[in-house]
Amino acid sequence: METVKEMFGSNVFDDRVMKANLPAKVYASLKKTIDEGTELDSSVANAVAEAMKEWAIAKGATHFTHWFQPLTGVTAEKHDSFISPSPDGGVIMEFSGKELIKGEPDASSFPSGGIRATFEARGYTAWDPTSYAFVKGKTLCIPTAFCSYGGEALDKKTPLLRSMAALNKQALRILKLFGNSDVKCVRTSVGPEQEYFLITKEMYDKRPDIRFTGRTLFGCKPPKGQEMDDHYFGVIKPKVAEFMEDLNEELWKLGILAKTEHNEVAPAQHELAPIYTTTNIATDHNQLMMEMMQKIASKHGLVCLLHEKPFAGVNGSGKHNNWSMATDTGINLLSPGDTPHENVQFLTFLCAVIKAVDEYQDLLRISVATAGNDHRLGANEAPPAVVSIFLGDELTAILEAIETDTPYSGTVRTKMKLGVDVLPQFNRDTTDRNRTSPFAFTGNKFEFRMLGSSNSISCANIMLNSAVAEVLKGFADELEVADDFTAALHGIIRKTIKDHKHILFNGNGYDASWIGEATEKRGLLNYRTTPDCMPHLLDKKNADMLKGLGVFTQTELDSRVDIMLENYCKTVIIEANTMVDMAGTAITPAVAEYTHKLADSIIAKKAACGSVACAYESSAMKTLSELTDAIAVSTASLEAKIADVKAIDDVIEQSYAIRDELIPAMDALRALVDSAETKTAKAYWPYPSYADMLFSVK
Ligand code: ADP
Ligand code: MG
């Protein structure tokens, strides 16, 4: 058997393979592009393509694909074989530099939000040499960006790379002011912790709601849920352990640093966290990880649910985006250092993040907004929809001391003068205790916890990188022309703390009183739903920032609002349609049948014994008859609402109608059906119950 060391990255065209298989000059040129973000020298493409092809064929590949991330949220691939006819009637295996660099998939069936009319079907994919190619199955996959023919981004990778470039540029300006002339590049790194549910394929097949929408649309709570807290970090069941083992191997072969796995809070819920890496690679890897989870689960007779909220009343699944910035020389810019110099630099970057998160709260909220995630945020299982920052008491006290120029009363009782004193050592262990904060400092990185489990991490990181880049730009503009650097920096840091401390909150984010305090006293934003927040992407402040940094064009922004809202509307309408179908074709008939059975039973009992009371049957029959009628009325009303909503042309108006009319109608129908479920004999209920599903995997 292969060892993990041998297995790791064996399906990746990584640095080791490139070094071994590319001519030295070609390798050096490509490496420069990867390490320093310099433009690719197109003359090396042919040599790289040839080496890639030979390597992939040796791995059993017959096809290649430009692997990309359209705005559907999942990945896309169109396979072409390497074969090319040879004059002797046979074939040769070919793959040119041109084919490596650029592909022209028919783009007309991917969402574009009006950027590209369907008659202009051409789009193109462009190789991202900073993310390694890999072999998956029999296909060489080349990570690519996906653009319209006019160059507008139609994917999630292009703006992410642009945001990384923007942050790199601005962070380098700051580092230069601190005298770090050896740093060539600053990259953001991400380690996304991924949550998911596993249920058996057998259960899945019996639930049309999960099959069509990824979540249950009906279902009363199980008698045992997560109350006992006995699942979190509990012993992993044999079937799940087998799945995890297989998954790890597949991920390792793809060079994904799968590291930590454990059971999560809810029954059937688990988590997998990789070791962090550069953001665009972490994003590619997270997409691959989600794909592999689903693929491997099906090999084990299981289904992996990545929906944010598959089961009402049971914790949903999120994704924690651990984020930091690091130099190519290995310095984590969010790690407090040991020297005064390092500390001031750390404080500068820390303050930049605080200001960025405060000024662009709305963009962070928008970056995680989907119909599915709306069920989680603020539901006392995930952070609220209000963005705030947790720093921990010690670091907060240090910032306060700096702001007010008073002695820090922690371990070091001296006044803190920036640039002179060493930051008092604070206990890093105390920074990671608060699990309720949407944006928490955890010692040397921030953990953005609002993402839903099925979200691509791309959007969150685009916004985060851009917002921080914008703030660093402001700092650099001011500092570059300052006569006294230290004084100017001190001024900036104090002002930042003063202006933005209202977003610092170390308390319990699940506490009901927090929302009142956050919105009324502190003036923080609280966008509860996707329709509430999404249009704000186009607010002047946001659009100016994103355009100014070159992350998005106006057309791209317009199209994204359209696409995200369209996606929201379609998702909920499909859910509503599924409910109508389930209620009409299976649930109402089942309840009616059971009611009939009860009536028969009363007749039979009375015939046999005369004056028996039949109290149970009578009362159940009455309740269920009433519920059946109510369900029928409610289903009809939902159907009418669907028609109303569908008739609305404007997507923003449509999303509001869905939020205000359709979702309440869905909730009303669900409440009736769930109530009927608790009173109907299990043998008559057409679907597996929550308990059946949540405890299905042994
Ligand atoms: P937990 O949050 O469960 O306590 P850790 O804090 O150890 O676990 O790590 C969570 C994730 O954060 C892991 O994916 C880890 O690789 C990642 N991480 C650690 N350091 C950094 C960093 N500097 N930048 C980005 N992610 C990081
Ligand atoms: Mg964590």
Lowest mean pLDDT: which of 373-387, 416-430, 670-684?
A: 416-430
Res. 459: pLDDT tops 60: yes
CA of 444 to the centre of ligand 1 (A): 9
Q: Greater confidence, 225 or 201?
A: 201
Please say if the pLDDT value at position 683 is more than 70.
Answer: yes
Contact (CB, 8 A) for 642 and 611: no
In the three-class reduction of DSSP (H, G, I as helix; E, B as strand; rest coil), residue 269 is classed as: strand
Of residues 125 and 284, more confidence is placed in: 284
Whether residue 7 has pLDDT greater than 80: yes
Ligand in nearest proximity to the CA of 449: 2
Indicate which atom in ligand 1 lies nearest the CA of residue 192.
14
**Mean pLDDT lowest among 402-406, 458-462, 486-490:** 402-406
User: Taking CA 133 as the corner, what is the angle to CA 130 and CA 136, rounded to the nearest 5 degrees?
Assistant: 150
Task: Write out pLDDT tens, residues 203-247.
Answer: 999 999 999 999 999 999 877 666 656 666 678 889 999 999 999
Q: Residue 19: pLDDT above 80? A: yes
Q: How far is the CA of 342 from the centre of ligand 1 (A)?
A: 21
Q: Which pLDDT band holds residue 92 (cuts at 50, 70, 90)? A: very high
Which numbered ligand comes closest to the C-alpha of 464? 1
Place of tokens 């309440």: 664
Residue 376 has pLDDT above 70, yes or no: yes
Q: Which of 118-132, 154-168, 410-424, 425-439 has the lowest mean pLDDT?
A: 410-424
Taking the CA of 260 as reference, the closest ligand is: 1
- pLDDT at 291 > cutoff 50: yes
Is 342 or 326 the better-scoring residue by pLDDT? 326
Ligand nearest to the CA of 272: 1
pLDDT tier for residue 20 given thresholds of 50, 70 and 90: very high
pLDDT at position 411 is 52
Write down the pLDDT at residue 17.
96
Q: How many CB atoms lie within 10 A of CB 201?
A: 14
* Gap from CA of 426 to ligand 2 centroid (Å): 20
Ligand 1 probe mutation, 187, 445, 447, 468, most atoms within 8 A of CB: 445
Return the pLDDT at 339. 66
Q: How far is CA 595 from CA 177, 306, 343, 614, in A?
A: 78, 37, 72, 14
Cα of 531 to ligand 1 centre, how many Å? 32
Tell me the mean pLDDT in the region 582-591. Answer: 97
For 503, phi then psi, to 5°, come to -90, -5
Q: How far is the CA of 438 from the centre of ligand 2 (A)?
A: 11
Q: How far apart, in whole angstroms, are the C-alpha atoms of residue 444 and residue 434?
A: 15
Q: In this model, does residue 566 exceed pLDDT 70?
A: yes
pTM: 0.94
Residues with CB under 6 A from ligand 1: 189-191, 193, 273-276, 322-324, 332, 432, 442, 444-445
Stretch 489-497: mean pLDDT: 94
Average pLDDT over residues 449-472: 97
pLDDT-derived band at 571, boundaries 50, 70, 90: very high
What pLDDT shows up at residue 265? 78
The helix (H) or strand (E) run that includes residue 190 is: strand 186-200
For residue 538, what is the DSSP state? G
Task: Tell me what the mean pLDDT of segment 308-317 comes to.
Answer: 93
How remote is the CA of residue 333 from the centroid of ligand 2, in Å?
A: 19
CA of 189 to the centre of ligand 2 (A): 15
Handedness of CA 250, 256, 262, 266 (dihedral sign): negative
Ligand nearest to the CA of 448: 2
Over residues 276-281, mean pLDDT: 96
276 Cα: distance to centroid of ligand 1 (angstroms): 6
Q: Considering only 26-35, 355-364, 490-499, which range has the smallest mean pLDDT?
A: 26-35
CA 364 – CA 381 distance, rounded (Å)? 19
Over residues 653-659, the mean pLDDT reads 98
Q: What is the tens place of the pLDDT at every residue in 504-543? A: 999 888 888 999 999 999 999 999 999 999 999 999 999 9
pLDDT greater than 60 at residue 66: yes
In this structure, how many other beta carbons lie within 10 angstroms of the beta carbon of residue 340?
16
The 10s digit of each residue's pLDDT in 594-629 is 999 999 999 999 888 887 788 888 999 999 999 999
Query: Is residue 118 scored above 60 in pLDDT?
Result: no
> What is the predicted pLDDT for the residue at 110?
77
Residues 6+ apart with CB under 8 A from 154: 70, 71, 107, 110, 111, 112, 115, 116, 123, 146, 147, 148
Average pLDDT, the chain: 90
- Ligand 1 atom at shortest distance from the alpha carbon of 335: 23
Q: How far apart are CA 147 and CA 154, in angstroms?
A: 5
Instruction: Name the residue of 322, 327, 432, 457 whose CB sits within 8 Å of the most ligand 1 atoms, as the mutation to test its pocket.
Output: 322
> What percent of the chain shows pLDDT beyond 90?
73
**Which among 262, 270, 276 is the best mutation to test ligand 1's pocket, defined by most ligand atoms within 8 Å of the CB?**
276
- Of 200-209, 301-310, 608-617, 675-684, give the lowest mean pLDDT range: 608-617
pLDDT at 668 over 60: yes
pLDDT number for residue 72: 82
**pLDDT for position 422:** 44
Q: Which residue's CA is the nearest one to ligand 1's atom 17?
A: 191
